[in-house]
Structure 1
Amino acid sequence: QKGMDIRPQIAGRPTGVLHGLTSNFHIFLASPTWKRELEALSVEDKVAAMGRPDIRAALLSEDSPLIRAATSAPVGGQVAGLDGLLWRIFPLGERPNYEPDREGSVAGMAEAAGVSPVEMMYDLLLRDGGKELFYQPLGGYQTYNFDFFRKNMQHPNVLFGLSDGGAHCGVIADAGMPTFILTHWARDRVKGEQFPLEFLVRKLTSDTARAYGLNDRGRIAPGLLADLNVIDFDALRLFRPEAIHDLPAGGRRLVQRAEGYRYTVKSGQVTFENGQHTGALPGGLVRGGREAVILPLAAE
């Protein structure tokens, strides 16, 4: 009402905690047998140990603080217990699906297989040599679709943001959010309407640059920075997040690879080619806004 330019942010999907043997969290993490027998093992040795009947029986039967906490956690506004929570946790697989059906949840798969949800979670943790991860959308996923996100992503003042690409890096891997927005919302979504690719590109580039006063980038025009991605859109895809240990003292973080980016160009220099860094480092610290220097087009 006072004329302020209010720019809400929304992510392209709910930020989610990733459960798994390669992340910093899963429901058996605080079990006595886990802490005593498995905690210090490599992922490969954990998978081997969890395949033993005695370890399996112990972990499935023990009283765990995490399981107790999950049992009292509200799901959809109600306390539904661990089994209820597992209707909102989904194995990602090698080609992640972030808008899955109810039947694709851990509890849904357990129901189809005739086993308990906790047993299904245990068995899925061992899949792909212990590399499987599980997506638990924060803020609920009661409708099992992203219609809420689509409605709000359309608003002209909304910026695409809120993806957690640098914090909680052992349990969240959202740095691939721009790639997800392009692939899911312009090409792959089957549970509702998509968006035109041109709309998404504008929101991710010029709209965001303009909102932060970076008027020298975000568009292709004479006088602007030559910041470009050359993308093979049909080949563009995200892989399942994976753990690497390159933080100080060998600390773990989850990263998510993408393919389909043929070239990334910064100020006219190719910095990445087919996902490989070229060694070029043309970027620099940006302080405050940047005005464009518009050059006249040369005469034909």
Structure 2
Amino acid sequence: MLDYLIKGGTLVDGTGSARRPGNIGIKDGRITAVGDIDEAAKETIDATGKIVSPGFVDIHTHYDAQVFWDPNISPSSYHGVTSVFAGNCGFSVAPLVPEAGDYLMRLLAKVEGMPLASLQEGVPWNWDSFGSYLAMLDGKMAINIGFMVGHSAIRRVVMGEDSGKPATPEQLETMKDLLKTSLAEGGMGFSSSQSTTHNDGNGEPVPSRAADNHELIELASCLKEHPGTLLEFIPSVGVFSQERIELMTNMSLAAQRSLNWNVMIVTKGTRDMVKEQLKASDYAAEHGAEIKALTFAQPVSLRINLWSGFGLDSFPGWAAVLALPMDERKVAFSDPAVREKLVRGLSHPDIPVVLRATGNFKKMLVEETFCEANAKYEGRIIGEMAEEMGMESSDLFFDISVADDLKTTFLPNLGGHDEESWALRGEVWRDDRTLVGASDAGAHVDMIDTFAFSTALLSEGVRDRNLLTLEEGVHQITDRPARYMGLIERGRLQEGWHADVVVFDEASIGKGPIYTRYDMPANAGRLYCDANGIGHVFVNGQEIIRDNELTGVKPGLVMRSGRDTETVPIPAFK
């Protein structure tokens, strides 16, 4: 007898093949039958008029800390995501030594926008090895999750307070040994960052930014000994230099694995930059390596504030001010001389084009205020108000922020909602050199709403704009990332494969309105949106969500490389 029979639905199997009517039989965590099924079941799900697809796969998240207080891994699970990968950008929380815990907490609070109080109250910080961290999570997750081994964590554990300096040959060897051990214990690969937007809790560059090319290539080379692993990297912001393209290529060749980089921002204003960034993939292919660009499933809506300061701290002069204690920071932002210096930093000629909008106060929208005096500014553009008031836009920006204890939320005008940008986005999604994802779920909880990438793609990108067929859209977030990551027997509706399955309504799937939800430790808030049109979510053959409600079961697997993933060879080693 089957555990579940999903009956009467339309199957979109993940491969990109045409949809077809059919049933799905599930037993003991596996899909045991596809098509016409006569076998009885303990429970039958009526999927008439609905789409039945594989569970969605998200290869770029930061759920490393959230898993301790939210084993349901929301909101991803509600949006049909059944497998995620965390530990990206070099920011894993394992391995760990006691003296590194406080540093990593403050680094995550700064660079990934996680509330410090939540990290302090909600995470035990009592593991040591990578394997012991994974073991603490076993049997407790609602969905499948794997973790990369982060460069900054490795550096901090090995080098301590010297982690912001060049490594000695002895330190590099110790890092390589620790990385190899972490990979052997189940780490999914190696992640690192060289991005100028990544600064730690002290406003200093994160440890991985102190690494030279030799260190990065040597650490990447550790992967070739460990099956089912790959590389994730943040190379820089903007157009890549030839040196950076060669570095990524050499990392891929040393690892004998693919490298994916984050993130490609696609708008009509970045068309030329996109073209140049994709040349990295072409160069790698010519040399037998592989480089894939991660790109968003939607236009980016970025929220900034002076409380966290992420994004603004990449402008010259800003990091030091944003690293000050809050009271001192408010005083600094009230000082005309400090303001003048900061505003000069916004127009520095070396600022990449994709960051310039983050510092364009004139075009910013005031999204949310926190004191009565500021309520009148909500929903208005700073430049328009400043002109009415006869003042500089920058002064109005700082005045509003200081009055709100730096918590005011502003929306920079990043563009990307126009028809030309959407058309380009569709072209990029279809490009074999890219992967759709870059959700960053679990990070920047007060800044971005890309966590709902799956329902965003299938609603606006597929149904509303016809940039992809439904079959293509499902393929982009199921089988394609699953095959890229080397997931074993996941990503398709195929007999014998793991029963990660989503039942959804094609006409109504989407993401609900964005709102702030105060459900994190220390009563901290995060941006959130509910999923629309998702009827059922199965993970490893058990139903975890029905009609947007949790069932309470936790069948998710804490995945290990080599056991749950297999090596996907790059051209030079096929």
TM-score (norm 2): 0.34
Write the letter of the residue equivalent to 1:149: R
Task: Tell me which amino acid in the other structure corresponds to 1:10.
Answer: T
Q: What residue is the counterpart of 1:149 in the other structure?
A: 425
Pairing of 1:141-220 with structure 2 (within 5 A):
141=415, 144=418, 145-189=421-465, 194-220=467-493
Q: Call closer, same or farther: CA 1:253–1:3 in 2, change over 3 Å.
A: same
Contact 1:71-1:79 within 8 A present in 2 as well: no
The answer for the alignment partner of 1:7 in structure 2 is: 292
> How far off its partner does 1:179 sit?
1.1
Q: Are 2:421 and 1:136 aligned? A: no
Mapped partners of 2:504, 2:429: distance in 1: 23
- Per-residue CA deviations over 1:82-118 (Å, capped at 9, x if unaligned) read 99645365969xxxxxxxxxxxx9549959xx96797
Deviation at 1:148, TM superposition (A): 3.7
Give the counterpart letter for 1:199 in structure 2.
E
Of the three residues 511, 520, 540, the one matched with 1:267 is: 540
1:205 is aligned with what amino acid?
Answer: T
Q: Distance in 2 between matches of 1:156 and 1:85?
A: 37
- Indicate the SS of the match to 1:150: helix
Matched with 2:549 is 276
Output the amino acid matched with 2:487. L
* Gap change, CA 1:202 and 1:175, over 3 Å in 2: same
User: CA 1:79–1:5 in 2, change beyond 3 Å: closer, same or farther?
Assistant: closer
Aligned counterparts of 1:186 and 1:226: Cα–Cα separation in 2 = 25
Classify 1:220/1:206 alpha carbon distance in 2 versus 1 (closer, same or farther; 3 Å). same
Please say which of residues 74-83 and 173-182 is displaced more in the overlay.
Answer: 74-83
Are 2:292 and 1:18 aligned? no
Paired residues of 2:299 and 2:417 also in contact (CA < 8 A): no
CA 1:270–1:142: 2 relative to 1, 3 Å:
closer
Residue 87 of structure 1 contacts residue 106 of structure 1 at CA under 8 Å; is this kept in 2? no
Give, in angstroms, the shift of residue 215 of structure 1.
Answer: 3.0
Code of the residue aligned with 1:181 in structure 2: it is L
1:227 aligns to 2:500 (yes or no): yes
Matched to 1:172, the amino acid is I
CA distance in 1, matches of 2:554, 2:476: 26
- 1:3, CA displacement in angstroms? 1.9
Shift of 1:226: 1.0
Residues 79 and 186 (structure 1 numbering): CA distance in 2 closer, same or farther, change over 3 Å? closer
Deviation track 1:216-275 (CA, whole Å, cap 9, x = no partner) reads 110001110111111112122322222223333222222221221000011221100011
Change (3 A) 1:175 1:14: same
Helix, strand or coil for the counterpart of 2:525? strand
Shift of 1:178: 1.4
Match of 1:249, SS? helix
Opposite residue 268 of structure 1, the aligned amino acid is: G
CA, structure 1 residues 143+86, in 2 after alignment: closer, same or farther (shift >3 Å)? farther
Kindly indicate which of the two structures has a greater share of residues assigned to helix: 2
Are 1:17 and 1:136, in contact at CA under 8 Å, matched by a contact in 2? Answer: yes
Counting matched residue pairs gives 239
**Secondary structure at the residue paired with 1:156?**
coil
Shift of 1:187: 1.8
In 1, Cα distance between the equivalents of 2:308 and 2:531? 22
How big is each residue's C-alpha offset from its partner over 1:36-92, in whole Å with a ceiling of 9 and x where there is no partner?
9xx9xxxxxxxxxxxxxxxxxxxxxx9797899579645995999999645365969
Amino acid at match of 1:213: G
Structure 2: gaps spanning 5 or more residues: 1-285, 310-325, 369-378, 398-407, 567-574
Shift of 1:164: 1.9
Identity value in percent: 21
**Structure 1 residue 242 corresponds to structure 2 residue 515:** yes
Q: Which has the higher contact order (CA 8 A, sep 6+)?
A: 2
- For the residue of structure 1 that corresponds to 2:543, the secondary structure is strand
Contact 2:515 2:528 in 1 (8 A): yes
Mapped to 2, the partners of 1:286 and 1:78 lie a distance apart of 35
Alignment deviations for residues 147-205 of structure 1 (CA, whole Å, 9 cap, x no partner): 4433321112311122221112122232111111111101223xxx6221111100100
Give, in angstroms, the shift of residue 17 of structure 1: 2.1
Contact 2:361 2:383 in 1 (8 A): no
After superposition, the CA RMSD in angstroms is: 4.6
Give the letter aligned to residue 449 of structure 2. Answer: A
> Does structure 2 conserve the Cα–Cα contact (< 8 Å) formed by 1:186 and 1:195?
yes
